[in-house]
Amino acid sequence: MRYGLRLWEPFNILKEFNEGFAKNYEGDFDSESRWSPKVDIVENEKSYVVRAEVPGVSKEDIDIDLKDNNLVIRGEKKFEKKDEGDNYVRVESSYGSFERSFFIDEKVDRNNISAKYKDGVLEVTLPKKEEAAPKKIEVKVN
């Protein structure tokens, strides 16, 4: 998994808060803003399962790619202002594009990866390759 690092500068927090509040208050949402969905990864005997929380994102706005050894999940949650007369006082929901990337090892059967989306949760199943188990050969007597 990849994680970005960001230098913590305490005085910039107030600046970011004020700028963010002003945008939210005015209902001006930057289409280039980014957010990161929460992800759970589960391993069982037969597969790895990646579950990403992406409520409010339509299936058509989600892309899943496997390139080299990286599973990349990206998409966008669009903000749609319903009524021109509404003035948003506070918006806590995340909007904009997102991208998550995960390292995939050689144990994954790349030809049988599947994905499904239900109730705001994207579930990507990465089946494991069947291990070449030793095969016992029976000796027959004629």
* Model pTM score: 0.66
User: What does the alpha-carbon distance between residue 114 and residue 112 come to, in Å, rounded to a whole number?
Assistant: 6
CATH of domain 30-80+91-127: 2.60.40.790
Going by pLDDT thresholds of 50, 70 and 90, the confidence category of residue 58 is very high
pLDDT for 130 beyond 60: yes
Q: What percent of the chain has pLDDT over 90?
A: 44
130 secondary structure, DSSP code: P
Mean pLDDT of 3-9: 48
Residue 25, both tokens: 């208050």
Whether 59 and 77 have beta carbons less than 8 Å apart is answered as no
Do 47 and 115 contact (CB within 8 A), yes or no?
no
CA distance 23 to 81: 14
Distance between CA atoms of residues 18 and 101, nearest Å: 31
Distance CA 111, CA 127 (A): 9
Domain ranges for the chain: 30-80+91-127
Residue % of the chain over a pLDDT of 70? 73
Q: Is 105 in contact with 66 (CB distance < 8 Å)?
A: no
pLDDT digits over 20-53, tens only? Answer: 444 444 444 444 567 899 999 999 989 999 999 9
Contact 97/76 with Cβ under 8 angstroms?
yes
Q: For 131-142, how does the pLDDT look when each residue is reduced to its tens digit (9 = 90+)? A: 755 678 889 887
Phi and psi torsions of 25, nearest 5° = -65, -40
| pLDDT higher than 60, residue 86 | yes
